[in-house]
Every structure is written in structure tokens, then in C-alpha cells.
Amino acid sequence: MCFKRMFVALRPCIDGFLAGCRPYIGVDASSLKGKYTGKLASATSVDGYNWLYYVAFGIFHSDTEDNWVWFIQQLQRAIGSPPGLVISTDACKGLETAVGTMFPKVEHRECMRHLYGNFLKHYQGHVFTEHLYPAARAYTEWLFKWHIGKIYEVAPDAIEYLEEHHNRLWYKCGFSEVSKCDYLTNNVSESFNSQIRHLKGLLLYELVDGLSELIMEKRYLRKQIANKMADGILPNVLKELNQVSNNLRVVKVAKGDDDCAEVTLVDAYNNTRRHSVDLKNHKCSCRVW
């Protein structure tokens, strides 16, 4: 008899994810360094404070399609299919297949950092470096197409390469607004791997115990912070609102009713812009918020 694989999803973590986190999960795996040199898979999200939130983790012997299908199957059993769910992964064939099998209707994003690295192995030049990432960051379809058009003018086959080898979502204009999460990279998984680096050389039972202890301590810390908050707006949200509103000059607000208005403003680059804002449904035509 030998160890094959395991999956851990603590009930408070699942309940907290479904009740208070954005429907966004980053999935990845990192190598263990101890006597058992297998893989530690993780499913992580972000809470309202934009801090890393632990959803589930698993351990298996290698990065095979069978192991990934099994892991994603257990994840689906744990969280179900929340509305607007986003799953972000790196370019890992077994993992991509597993997500497509168990979450066929999910918004499946590919990490832009890995895509960009792979792309530059085939295509190099200032046109690609100046337009690929800006295309990914564009919130509107017309701006995305403008940047892609610049790449197409130089290398039409580069667009064919992207469509063939990177056909998951990697550009913001294609992201759903439901998740309220515009991450281009799978940095939540990278952050998790960084936090548990000191645990990777432990024996399996010590590793699982160490992860459970880490999760418990982080949850307690955040509970303390939440209890000290005086109002319903998170400090980091206020900070970001203040940052993006600096140097903005509102020229006119034309109200349609109490919750909807058309706002004309001059941005930091002295460009006049007009957007439709719907406070009730939390929407703005700029698609940034």
C-alpha cells in the first residue's frame, strides 16, 4: 500500500468563499522538496480586502491529466458552480483539460505572464512588446482590436499563433463583469506558493498540519481586522478610489434617475470622456469598475 493523492477543503474556507469572496479562483501546483517529491496543488481566491484567500489544496505524485481531473472534480464537489465563476490557470494541458471537463461553462483565463513569455520565444520586436500587453489590459473591445491590428500589420501569423495555442481568455475586454476581478495573471497562486515555501520539505502529515495551522492563523488575523472596521467600506477600496480619482475633473453629471447618470469628465491626460454610470447595478461603461 502506498500514498496516491489527497484533497483538503475546510468547511469554513468553503463557506467563506461562497459567502464573501469574489467568484475567482487561481489553480496551480508546485513541487515538494522533501522525502515525498510530489506536487502540492492549490485553489486560491481573494477576499474583500484583496488578500489571499485559501479555498482548497491537494497533494498528488505528478502533474498528470488524471490527477488534475481528479483534483478539479473534488473542487467542483466542494464549491459547486457559483454564478460568474472565473478560474485562472497557467498553460498546463492536463489542468486546462480538467477545468474544461468539470467546469465547461466557467470563464477560464490564462495567465498573461506565462502567455507573454511563451509568445516572445517565437516573436520578438518592439511592435510585440509595445502592443501585446496593452491589448491584454484594454477594457474596451475597440482598443483591444487596435493593438491587435498593429501586431497583425507586422506578423499576421502571430495572431494565428495566439488563436491556436492560447485560446483561453487573456484580455480584459473579454472578461465578464460579474466576478469584479480583472486579474491578468495567476499571481494569487504564486503568492500562495511563496507563503508555504518553508513547508514544502516536510513529511506529508507535517505539511498538511502546517497548512491547516497557517490557514487558521490567517483567518483569525483577518477576523480581528474586520471587527475593527467602523463602516462598510474597506480601507483598500477607499485608497484605490482616491488614487484613480486624483486629477479627474468632472465637467457635468446628467442624471437619468437617482441611480443612473451620464458623467462627463477630463482625465489626467486632459482627454474629455463621457461614461454611463449605474449605481444600483454597479456598472460603468468604462468597464474599469
Per-residue pLDDT reduced to its tens digit, 42-91: 999 998 778 899 999 999 999 899 999 999 999 999 999 999 999 999 87
Whether residues 121 and 136 share a domain: the answer is: yes
**Is residue 234 very low, low, confident or very high in pLDDT (cuts 50, 70, 90)?**
confident
Average pLDDT, the chain: 90
**Is residue 225 very low, low, confident or very high in pLDDT (cuts 50, 70, 90)?**
confident
Indicate the number of domains in the chain: 3
Contact 116, 48 (CB under 8 A): no
pLDDT at residue 248 tops 80: no
Helix (H, G, I), strand (E, B) or coil at 10: coil
Let me know how long the chain is.
Answer: 289
Average pLDDT over residues 183-197: 93
Integer CA distances (angstroms), 182 to 90, 96, 164, in order = 16, 20, 23
Asked whether residue 193 is domain-assigned, the answer is: yes
Residue 268 DSSP class: T
Whether residues 3 and 106 share a domain: the answer is: yes
Predicted TM-score of the model (pTM): 0.87
The DSSP line for 217-255 is HHHHHHHHHHHT--SSS-HHHHHHHHHHHTT-EEEEEEE
**Is residue 268 very low, low, confident or very high in pLDDT (cuts 50, 70, 90)?**
low
Whether residues 93 and 235 share a domain: the answer is: yes
Asked whether residue 286 is domain-assigned, the answer is: no
The torsion angle over the Cα atoms of residues 113, 128, 136 and 44, rounded to 10 degrees, is: 0
